[in-house]
Structure 1
């Protein structure tokens, strides 16, 4: 079945389940109206852009995933930041493209812009997530399944191993408290980032060795930013590595394919 072969459906199932659990059981910060605002904005804008640009109908599945992801990751007392973040995510996805594919993970680049330029209105608060074993098991199950279906388990393992390595260096080498260094790995927010943000097939390298170095580079960048006491380091690390490593690799691949086609 097509659904079983498309990792996006597993991501969507996770996001829907976690959104429902967060709203009904876990007392998430976001209100229903905030989640609905981000989802509706992402889906409607996707339909409008695709309709005008390609003159055709295309399922807004990716936009639905983007909207739900923003509804989980972003925290604000106001509704308009959720709308703006969705506009940025979908707009940049269609505006910045190479070989008909988007350059940055939509959720990541939109969150980086909001966190950097509008920190008084938008934050990402991992403390809102429960670290109960039941929720962690659900996240890990869907995460491994989605990453496996996307062919990005190597990226997940490289990033997680690299993060653990640098957490150990920060703890035993720099004296950072053990829980502060390793604690984020037990949080659902960290696992969501690991399995669903840095494993985007469109924005990660196609080669296995390149993906391994890509995941490790994100862990290294995150460690440097944490030592520098930069908030929301995971978002910035992923963005910087995509910009400085992922993008040049994709440009080189496109140019190489063009030369071979001549």
Structure 2
């Protein structure tokens, strides 16, 4: 009988994405228990399944390698906590936007945008009657959950050496809020309070710090986080939909262009992976 072998690349236990996956599962367990959460575990499984399938297939098409779709699994989490859909069928285009952006929108072999942020913004602009960002507010106010997110996010930001990005994002956001309040009836504390929503905290700690779409040098990290903070607060001042996620997309694009034309080399960390061999009969 002839044997067929598939070489499958999987993450090692030391890969930071494994930590994020553990956080995802714990967060879902805590969040789904809240009456105000709205979504359910079946919805998440539907979205995660779509993201993983697209990730698995597109990666094979682009690189010729079979890679365990961990990115699809973790990306689904970021989308699920922000987007509500009128029907689960819309998870298909959302998942394709996320994983397609990672596969096709690249500069120098690195994807330009954080896949989750890209899918969130584009789907909310293009599928406005079917997709809503209201999910970002559905568990606001739970102190224990907020503290859990903050501690896990801080640990992971330190693990991937992107804590300076988060520091710059929050620091600059707080500094510019009094200036913006001079031109609007919104008090400065309201701008700061918006940054404490669990959905925004997750964006700051887990999307903003994506090692593949953010700088590795601290100086560039501070500039990157500060730029996104200023743009996000300005878009919020203009009452723009999803200001933080939109600012992140713009920041990713600006950084990708900078990386291409800058003489300063800014390398991305390589995920800790290994190959396993699966025998098929």
Q: In the alignment, what sits opposite 2:71?
A: 62
Q: What corresponds to 1:194 in structure 2?
A: 204
Per-residue deviation at 1:133? Answer: 1.8
3-state SS of paired residue (1:73): coil
Among 244, 256, 259, the alignment partner of 1:234 is: 244
Kept after mapping to 2: 8 A contact 1:37/1:83: no
Match of 1:71 in 2: 80
Q: Is the 8 A contact 2:180 2:234 kept in 1?
A: no
What's 2:107 paired with? 98
Shift of 1:3: 2.5
- Measure how far apart 1:233 and its partner are: 0.7
Candidates 95, 106, 115, aligned match of 2:124: 115
Change (3 A) 1:29 1:162: same
Q: What displacement does 1:231 show?
A: 1.9
Q: CA deviation at 1:30?
A: 2.0
Considering Cα pairs closer than 8 Å and 6+ residues apart, tell me whether 1 or 2 has the greater RCO.
2
More strand by share: 2
- 1:167 corresponds to which residue? 177
Deviations 1:158-202 (A, max 9, x none): 001011112232335644134522211221111101101111010
Q: Which has the larger radius of gyration?
A: 2
Helix, strand or coil at the partner of 2:133:
coil
Is the CA contact (8 Å cut-off) linking 1:131 and 1:186 kept in structure 2?
A: no
Q: Report the CA distance between 1:23 and its aligned residue.
A: 1.8
In the alignment, structure 1 segments of 5+ residues that lack a partner are: 258-262
1:38 equivalenced with 2:42 (yes/no): no
Give unmatched runs, 5+ long, in structure 2.
1-11, 266-281
Residue 228 of structure 1: how far off its partner (Å): 1.3
Q: CA RMSD in A?
A: 2.1
Question: Which has the larger displacement, 123-132 or 164-173?
Answer: 164-173
Q: 2:259 aligns to what SS in structure 1? A: helix
Q: CA deviation at 1:77?
A: 2.3
> Do residues 214 (structure 1) and 224 (structure 2) align?
yes
Q: How big is the shift at 1:248? A: 1.3
Structure richer in helix, relative to its length: 1
Q: Distance in 2 between matches of 1:129 and 1:24?
A: 10
Of the three residues 187, 199, 202, the one matched with 1:177 is: 187
Cα offset, 1:80, TM superposition: 2.1
8 A Cα contact 1:156 1:194, kept in partner:
yes
Q: How many equivalent residue pairs?
A: 254
2:95 corresponds to 1:86: yes
Aligned mates of 2:210, 2:163 — CA distance in 1: 11
Aligned counterparts of 1:256 and 1:215: Cα–Cα separation in 2: 18
Task: Answer yes or no: is 1:124 the counterpart of 2:133.
Answer: yes
Q: Which moved more, 1:111-120 or 1:47-56?
A: 47-56
Taking the aligned partners of 1:7 and 1:251, their CA distance within structure 2 comes to: 26
8 Å contact from structure 1 (residues 34, 82) kept in 2: no
Please state if 1:246 is matched with 2:255: yes
Which residue is 2:27 aligned to?
18
Residue 108 of structure 1 aligns to a residue in which SS? helix
